[in-house]
Amino acid sequence: MGAMRPRIGITCGYRPGEPVNGYETALLAVDARFCDVVFDGGGEPLLIPPAAREADLLPILRTLSGVILTGGPDVPPERYGAKPHPETRLLHPRRVAVDFAAARFADEQELAVLAICCGIQEWNVHRGGTLHQHLPDLQCSPQIKHREGNTFSHHPVRVDEKSLLFSIIKTVSLPVNSSHHQGLDRLGANLRATGWAADGLIEAVEDPRRPFCLGVQWHPEDMPGDPLQEKIFRAVVAAASRIQPGGTVSRPR
């Protein structure tokens, strides 16, 4: 038998009361391409459901070697000591509870972590950081569009040459897509900024103490066929392959 694929947990949205065939049915929501890129990278994707009780999550989390925190609406501002902005659109409370439980478990067990868009914001808040709640309110020069209605905007990201991200993509200027109106403000504990937009907004962070802990503000899963974005997913799967389920790091004898 071949080596087991590392299992990567993927957070997903919770939508209560969606009408399906005349019935009001609560739905889970996640971009299927997350599963595709994990499979393509050699991993085994597993959705982390927004369980009603955190205790129900533990048997799932203990099977994981890595976690992907995916995109979505906005983190509740009370989690970082702020009042809601008029443009803030909150994640469902069940998803908030599960995402932060998954982040906490991944930190405690040192799982491989890739945090994407809202996920990088959750990761920063989980570590005690804060957010800009509405980027158009900031007086930045040059002005960068980080979201254009319901479509992606596009801009380059400057990458720190002494970073995990650079070691993966081997370039200091990375074209990315963009669909967010919030962004990182004060960084959380032990997070280091490693990528920036031209307006100075932080676009990538990492925890250099960890083998793989990377957050990106864009959506690499929505850039199919881009070899640099595909490398990011292959890298998190490769890192997870060196971690036993539940967080025991495999070390050479």
Q: Residues with catalytic annotation?
A: 117, 219, 221
Burial of 4 (0-12, 13-18, 19+ CB in 10 A): exposed
Contact 92, 34 (CB under 8 A): no
Contact 157, 174 (CB under 8 A): yes
Strands 44-48 and 7-11: what pairing? Answer: parallel
Q: Which of 50, 56, 59 is nearest to 27 (CA)?
A: 50
Please report, for residues 35, 56, 196, 241, the alpha-carbon distance to residue 193 in angstroms, rounded to integers and kept in the order given: 27, 34, 8, 26
- Structure token pair of residue 49: 């459901």
CA distance 250 to 253: 9
- Beta-carbon contacts of 217 under 8 Å, excluding residues fewer than 6 positions away, are 117, 120, 176, 178, 180, 183, 184, 195, 201, 202, 203, 204
